[in-house]
Amino acid sequence: EAGVTQFPSHSVIEKGQTVTLRCDPISGHDNLYWYRRVMGKEIKFLLHFVKESKQDESGMPNNRFLAERTGGTYSTLKVQPAELEDSGVYFCASSLNPGSAIEQFFGPGTRLTVL
C-alpha cells in the first residue's frame, strides 16, 4: 500500500512568489491534514479536510494560504505571496478515522525555503 506522498520534496522561492504544494493521501482515507514545522519549532496544525470539505481551518496563519481538495482526493496548499517566515517543512497526513483507527499517517514533507 502506497503511503502519503508529497510534491515537491524541496522548494526554494523568492519572497513575493507563489508556491503550490501537493499531497496525495493514502487511498481510501477521507481525512487529510496539513501541518507545518517552522524554524525547528513545534509541528503546528494548519487544517483538516474530510473528503472535499474543510472541517477545521483554525490553524491557517493568514489569507496568503489557500488549501483545496477538489474531488476529495489529492490536496494542494498554495502560498501567495510567500514571505520569509513561511519557510519550514510542510507535512501532509491522512487517516481513516472510523472507530479506533484514528492514527494519522504522514508524508515525507515539503521543505520550503523563502529567500
Partner 1 sequence: AQSVAQPEDQVNVAEGNPLTVKCTYSVSGNPYLFWYVQYPNRGLQFLLKYITGDNLVKGSYGFEAEFNKSQTSFHLKKPSALVSDSALYFCAVKAAGNKLTFGGGTRVLVKP
CB 65 → partner 1: shortest distance, Å? 16
Site for partner 1 in 24-43 (CB under 8 A): 31, 33, 35, 41-43
- Using CB under 8 A as the binding rule, whether residue 45 contacts partner 1 is answered as yes
DSSP state of 29: -
- Using CB under 8 A as the binding rule, whether residue 11 contacts partner 1 is answered as no
**Among 25, 104, 112, 114, which residue sits at the site for partner 1 (rule: CB under 8 A)?**
104
Residue 113 corresponds to which cell in the numbers above?
Answer: 525555503
Distance of CA 84 to the CA centre of its chain: 18
Smaller CB separation from partner 1, 60 or 81: 60
Residue 79 corresponds to which cell in the numbers above?
Answer: 502560498
Smaller CB separation from partner 1, 37 or 78: 37
Cα–Cα separations (whole angstroms), residue 51 to 34, 66, 81, 87: 14, 16, 27, 28
